[in-house]
Amino acid sequence: MERMPERIDSKFRFILLAAERAERMLRGASPRLEADTRKSTQVAMDEIMHDLIEWEYGPAPEEDAEQAAPVEA
């Protein structure tokens, strides 16, 4: 595999992004690269490698818990 873009911090995140993008293409999203006869997963990985997919980190789980309203008993 080629070197991942710098903003992707792990192989795990790369796979998650590729899986989500491939699923979107299966549901009708247009590929941003020529798809030929390749599988959507390979096209999604190529799109990420060429930095064609926009994404950002979500809030950390601790931040979500702190922002949630307290539960009253």
State pLDDT tens for residues 12-68. Answer: 999 999 999 999 999 999 999 887 888 999 999 999 999 898 888 776 666 555 555
3-state SS, residue 7: coil
Q: Is 2 part of a structural domain of the chain?
A: no
Q: Is 70 part of a structural domain of the chain?
A: no
Q: Is 28 part of a structural domain of the chain?
A: yes
Number of domains comprising the chain: 1
Full-model pTM: 0.70
Q: Is 35 part of a structural domain of the chain?
A: yes
> What's the rounded Cα separation, in Å, for the pair 32 and 2?
19
Q: Quickly count: other Cβ atoms within 10 Å of residue 31's Cβ.
A: 18
Q: Is 72 part of a structural domain of the chain?
A: no
Q: Is 69 part of a structural domain of the chain?
A: no
The boundaries of the domain holding residue 46 are 11-57
